[in-house]
Amino acid sequence: MRKKGFLQLAFLAVALFLALPVVAQNESVVTLAGNAYITSGSGASIDEGNCAIRDWNDKETVISFYFRTKESGNMNIALQAKGNSSIEVSLLGKKKRVTLNSDALSRVELGTFKVKNPGYIKMDIRGIKINKGSNFGSIASVIVSGDVSPVVCVAPDFSAHFGRRGPSVHLGYTLPREDIEWFYNEIVVPEEGDIPSSYYMACGFGEGYFGMQNNSPHPRRVLFSVWSPYQTDNAAEIPDSLRVTLVKKGAGVKVQDFGN
């Protein structure tokens, strides 16, 4: 499982590398894959592996990029984008309309914006008119230069996979020296914390975790997953001494093997 996960991340890194533009030394690249989200509408999706926007054809869809500046001053903005359409960019209280006119990724200059106070910046992009084809196109990255560069990305370098998972908090404990037979934790989730795709882990360890998951507006699941402490993609290779086996389960509990 670990080997396959590494290969998937390596493929993601290669895909992102191919999507990155050639930039000058004083320019920062904010990639779509780890630093942008669909914040309004439902007419598009972000393909993080290929660093691309898919099925962007709804005018109500808003793609939002996030990054942080450490300095104030002039900020030059460009897009690495493709398409045949008119789009609108909203940034620091200003709106800028630009035309995309390329079937391949190319640099589109947006101009200079004034950053008065350093901090987090949200940049919204929406489609205005499709001039040719069935969608507005795609945006791979935002290129930032000027007084504020370099900027801080939400997910720097090639960590887009982990950046898009959402934030997580992990508590660690120093184990006592004697052997441990069991340990115990409690979690109480407030109503406002019961949001879609959230997972509250009560107990986590080297080869497993236990907690509660919100899968959709209705089902809630209690998950307890354990995998063998043996690195292989072939379950038949796992020694019996390291194989996970069912000891006991309660009524109504579903137990199944999983891989990858």
* Dihedral of alpha carbons 185, 188, 192, 195, sign: positive
Query: Do 143 and 204 lie in a common domain?
Result: no
Distance of alpha carbon 139 from alpha carbon 234, whole angstroms: 39
Task: Specify the pLDDT at position 260.
Answer: 54
Final residue belonging to a domain, choices 105, 132, 164: 164
Q: Are 45 and 76 in contact (CB under 8 A)?
A: no
Within-domain flag for 191: yes
What letters, b where the CB count within 10 A reaches 16 and e where it falls short, cover 222-235?
Answer: eeeeebbebeeeee
Query: Do 146 and 209 lie in a common domain?
Result: no
Query: Do 64 and 156 lie in a common domain?
Result: yes
Query: Do 72 and 196 lie in a common domain?
Result: no
CATH number of the domain at 99, please.
2.60.120.260
DSSP string, 34-92: HHEEEEE-SS-EEETTTTEEES---TT-EEEEEEEESS-EEEEEEEEEEEEEEEEEEET
Query: Do 240 and 129 lie in a common domain?
Result: no
Give the residue numbers spanning the domain of 84: 2-164
Final residue belonging to a domain, choices 131, 164, 197: 164
Tokens 């630009």 locate to: 98
- The token pair that represents 50 in the structure block: 């290929």
Query: Do 182 and 121 lie in a common domain?
Result: no
Query: Do 154 and 184 lie in a common domain?
Result: no
Query: Do 106 and 190 lie in a common domain?
Result: no
Within-domain flag for 259: no
Query: Do 160 and 217 lie in a common domain?
Result: no
Distance of alpha carbon 5 from alpha carbon 131, whole angstroms: 40
Q: Domain total for the chain?
A: 2
Final residue belonging to a domain, choices 111, 134, 164: 164
Q: At residue 49, what is the residue type?
A: G
- The token pair that represents 33 in the structure block: 């894959």
Task: Specify the pLDDT at position 9.
Answer: 44
Within-domain flag for 101: yes
- The token pair that represents 131 in the structure block: 């001039």
Query: Do 177 and 201 lie in a common domain?
Result: yes
Residues 6+ apart with CB under 8 A from 236: none
Tokens 């808003």 locate to: 62
Task: Specify the pLDDT at position 87.
Answer: 98
Query: Do 26 and 132 lie in a common domain?
Result: yes
- The token pair that represents 56 in the structure block: 């962007």
H runs (alpha helix) in 52-210: 160-164
Within-domain flag for 260: no
The count of other CB atoms within 10 Å of the CB of residue 190 is: 6
Within-domain flag for 247: yes
Task: Specify the pLDDT at position 164.
Answer: 66
Task: Specify the pLDDT at position 103.
Answer: 96
Task: Let me know if 247 is exposed, middle or buried by CB neighbors in 10 A (0-12, 13-18, 19+).
Answer: exposed
pLDDT, tens digit, 9 for 90 and up, residues 61-78: 999 999 999 999 999 999
Task: Specify the pLDDT at position 72.
Answer: 95
Query: Do 63 and 154 lie in a common domain?
Result: yes
pTM: 0.64
Tokens 């460009």 locate to: 78
For the chain, list residues with pLDDT below 70: 1-25, 156-167, 259-260
Task: Specify the pLDDT at position 251.
Answer: 94
